[in-house]
Amino acid sequence: MQTITRRAALLGAVSTLSGCAAISSINSAAAPLDTFDLHPVAGSTSGGRRSRTLLVARPQASAALATDRIMIKPGAASVTYLPDARWVDELPAVLQSLLIRSISGTGRIAYVGRSDAGPIPDKALLVRIDAFEVNALDGGTFDVTVDLDLTLINDSNQRVVASRRFTKTTLVASDDVAEIVGAFQSVLNDLLPEMADWAVART
C-alpha cells in the first residue's frame, strides 16, 4: 500500500496553490476518484422545542480547503491532496450540511437550514474552517486535525451573540484512505454534538 508520503510525492506540484486546481482537474479526468461522505451527529435531545429559526451560512475556508479533495500537510508550509479520494462535495458544503443536520437532529429548534433558503431567521451561524487536514508527523505517523470557528449573530441587527472555537486532533491508525476518513468521522463524532448543543443553547 502506498504511504501518504509517497502519495504526496506523486502530487508534489500541488504544494503551490496556483497549480492545485489544474492538477486536481487532470487527476479527476484521468481516473474516477473514490468518494467519501461524513455523517451528522445530533446534540442532546433533552429540553423543549423552541419556536426559533437558525440559518447556517456556508462556511468560509481558504482556497486550499474550499475543494472536494482531502488535504494532506507534509510540512508546515506545504499542501497536497490524496490523489485517489475526494469528499462527496466541496468541504464547506459538506460541513454546512453536517451542522444543519446535527443541530436539527436535536429537535429543539423549529427550523434549521441554509442561509440562502427558508424563513426569516432569529439567529445566523457563521463558520470558518481553519483546519480540516491530515498532518504528517515524525516517524512516519499521521494525525487528523479539525479546527472550526463558530460565531452566532442576531439576524435583525447583525450583533454577535457568542463565538467559540472547536478543535480536536486524533492519530490515524494507518495511511489507508478509509482509516483517514474514519479518523475525520471520529473527530466529528465529538465536535458535532458539542457544536450543536452550543448553538441550540444560544438560539
Integer Cα distance of 175 and 190 in angstroms = 22
pLDDT at 57: 96
pLDDT at 26: 47
pLDDT at 16: 43
pLDDT at 29: 52
pLDDT at 8: 45
- Taking only the tens place, the pLDDT of each residue in 77-106 is 899 999 899 999 999 999 999 999 999 999
pLDDT at 55: 96
pLDDT at 115: 75
Q: How far is CA 117 from CA 127, 154, 161, in A?
A: 17, 17, 22
**Residue 201 grid cell:** 443553547
H/E stretch holding 134: strand 123-136
Q: Mean pLDDT in the chain?
A: 87
Integer Cα distance of 113 and 122 in angstroms = 12
- Taking only the tens place, the pLDDT of each residue in 134-151 is 999 888 889 999 999 999
pLDDT at 4: 52
pLDDT at 151: 99
Q: Which residues contact 29 (CB under 8 A, 6 or more apart)?
A: none
Domains delineated in the chain: 4-201 (3.40.50.10610)
Low pLDDT (below 70) residues in the chain: 1-30
Going by C-alpha positions, the residue among 113, 117, 114, 197 that lies closest to residue 162 is: 197
